[in-house]
Amino acid sequence: MNDEWNDEELKASVEAYVEMQRDERLGQPFIKKHYYKRLAQTFGRSEKAYEYRMQNISYVLALMGRSWVTGLKPARNIDAAVAARIEKFLWEAQRQKAMPVAAFKIAVRDEMKQKNPATPHGSTSPKSRRVTVTQFRRNAPVKAWVLQQAGGVCECCEKAAPFKNVDGLPHLELHYMRQLADGGQDIISNAVALCPNCHREIHYGANAHALVAWLYDNVARLIPE
């Protein structure tokens, strides 16, 4: 069949991925190959093609700073246009809206591969657009308690906060182990205080899963959701 993935097929792949992700979070057993087989029977590609597409979806989630299904290591071989469609379907599956980021990050990645690139002119009048996004009302006492317990030390790398903020307090950032966008609870057993570097790594780093596992093993109050 044609190599071009239409919206129906791509959306079905995303919905299957989200279903696997939900089962993993709930601790319910699932078999990835069953999803690949079902998609293959519906749309006519090989099961291997759907496995690789699922890894593309993991990559898009990683670019979004979101967690991905264990065993589906992110595969970077995807262009910006397809990534943008996957991101759109991911948000639709979760009935949320957010600023799109995947296509832009892939465009930056591809530009960085060029040897001796010309100096870009940029834009003296950047265009703007209005986007409706989903925001969560967060609990201030939860954040305050977690930061107080950390005592100015990152709960991941166990190093002192790198600087003080404008209030004169050590700058640590609150991270939800299961993100609110994924249905996580705004409670102390789901939150840690991280330095900016660890916070970025746990969202976007290649070793994010290992950091999450380390935190669950070493921060006593954390309870997997």
User: What predicted TM-score, i.e. pTM, was given to this entire model?
Assistant: 0.81
Model pLDDT for residues 108-161, shown as the tens digit of each residue: 888 888 888 888 888 888 887 777 777 778 888 999 999 999 999 999 999 999
Burial grade of 99 (CB within 10 A; 0-12, 13-18, 19 or more): exposed
Query: Which domains occur in the chain, in start order?
Result: 7-112 (no CATH), 140-218 (1.10.30)
Which residues have CB under 8 Å from 50's CB, separation 6+?
13, 16, 35, 36, 39, 40
Model pLDDT for residues 65-96, shown as the tens digit of each residue: 999 999 999 999 999 999 999 999 999 998 88
CB atoms < 10 A from the CB of 44, how many? 11
CB atoms < 10 A from the CB of 192, how many? 26
Alpha helices per DSSP H over the chain: 7-26, 32-43, 47-63, 80-93, 102-112, 140-150, 196-204, 208-218
106: left (phi over 0), alpha (psi -120 to 50) or beta: alpha
